[in-house]
Homo-oligomer: A and B are copies of this chain.
Amino acid sequence: MREVAIIGIGETKIGELWDLSLRDLGIHAGLEAIQDAGVTGDEIEKLYIGNMSAGRLINQEHIAPMIADYAGLEGTPAVRIESGGASGGMALAEGFMAVASGMNDIVVVGGAEKMTDVGDVEAKDILSSTGDREWESVFGATFDSLYALMAKHHMDVYGTTREQLAQVAVKNHYNGARNPNAQFQREIPLKMVLNSPAVSTPLGMFDCAPLSDGGAAVVLCPVEIAESYSGKPVRMMGVGMGSDHMAVHDRQSIDTMKATNLAARRALDMTGLECSNMDFAEVHDNYTISEIMAIEDIGFFNKGDGGPATQRGDTALNSKISVNPSGGLKAKGQPVGAVGINQAVEAVIQLRDKAGDRQVDDAEYGLTHNVGGTGGSAVVHIFGRWSP
């Protein structure tokens, strides 16, 4: 297999973007990435789009050729990858393979989701269709309540505290306040999280990431030709994927995400690196408990130490491991099917030393972690600084 580089990135601001449609989101991000890379439309051999549910959100399936069309790339192979909230990360894995295999040289991978054209209740229902519909949501189990179950169990088993959960949100808002593309660019005090209205006990409003509109894109090519383009390259070193029982009640443990564990192990094995080599990680913090489970299940901390580690500040910017320097889903925002690409965009910004006030000092390696459903699927990517 050939080694792969990212040579261009683009993303829209994340938020409630009333004036941008799904196709606009895809095109804005894609064109920015193409310009950043300095590739021409003719050079692009394939387009992957990660998206969760355009069918239900905007009544449009088959969105990959639609975005190619409106970006002036009609004729170019274009395919959509769907894996719930992990759609973006899974699309990136396919793009990686297209280049690594030698099948394609220049590949664009985008992610886009338009969450706000439907009401909140419908949006939550659509999100819950990435869990096991027949055995969970038809009986009233929402994502909020399923993640609350995990949180409660994690607290019972490991002594994780309400304050430790809240500290995840405080940290990610601190970072998001330093990210010009973040949906929430302001810090919040611990008390605000603790006193926020209950969503599903023990999770309050500030324990939950928003549902956002957004688009993001990256341009991939083989390492050998990466320096012939204008965007400063970053290495894509490894990818790993995993799955698990769809329904939370079928899992052996609900305080661990097996899919995350498998994906991280597989990605690290591909690179020969370990968690201790990573300088930062963008993890899937759709809820505060998700980040605590993720940093344990990936292997940054022992099982049960995710909460205390967060409280100790070990996941803060430029501490032991900078977790979610972008602000994460919590503060940067959650355009569901785009999240995995937003994470890759942050990894490239960090490894190019272009993250400004949220820069991870001397970042050499970073990891991104993207989850579908309540843990039914997960994908992990490893990125490295360019060294010609």
Contact = CB atoms under 8 A, between A and B. Distances in A.
Contact of A62 (B58, B84, B250, B263): B84
A164 interface: no
The prevalent SS among residues of A at the interface is mixed
B102 A1 contact: yes
Given A79-B377, A80-B83, A262-B75, A65 B244 contact: yes
A78 interface: yes
User: Looking at chain A, what size class is its interface with the partner chain?
Assistant: 35 or more
Contacts of A258: 74-75
A70 to B, nearest CB: 8
B377 A62 contact: yes
B243 A61 contact: no
A133 interface: yes
A92 to B, nearest CB: 11
Given A55-B55, A56-B55, A75-B262, A65 B246 contact: yes
Contact of A84 (B46, B61, B81, B126): B61
A187 interface: no
A79 B81 CA distance: 7
B80 A64 contact: no
B133 A60 contact: yes
A78 B376 CA distance: 10
Contact of A74 (B79, B97, B243): B243
Give the most central of A46, A52, A81, A258: most B CB within 10 Å.
A81
Interface in A22-73: 46, 52-53, 55-56, 58-62, 64-66, 68-69, 73
Interface of A: 1, 21, 46, 52-53, 55-56, 58-62, 64-66, 68-69, 73-84, 90, 93-94, 97-98, 100-103, 126, 129-134, 241-246, 250, 258-259, 262-263, 372-373, 376-377, 379
List the 6 closest pairs (A to B, CB-CB), nearest first: A101-B101, A77-B241, A62-B84, A62-B130, A65-B243, A65-B376
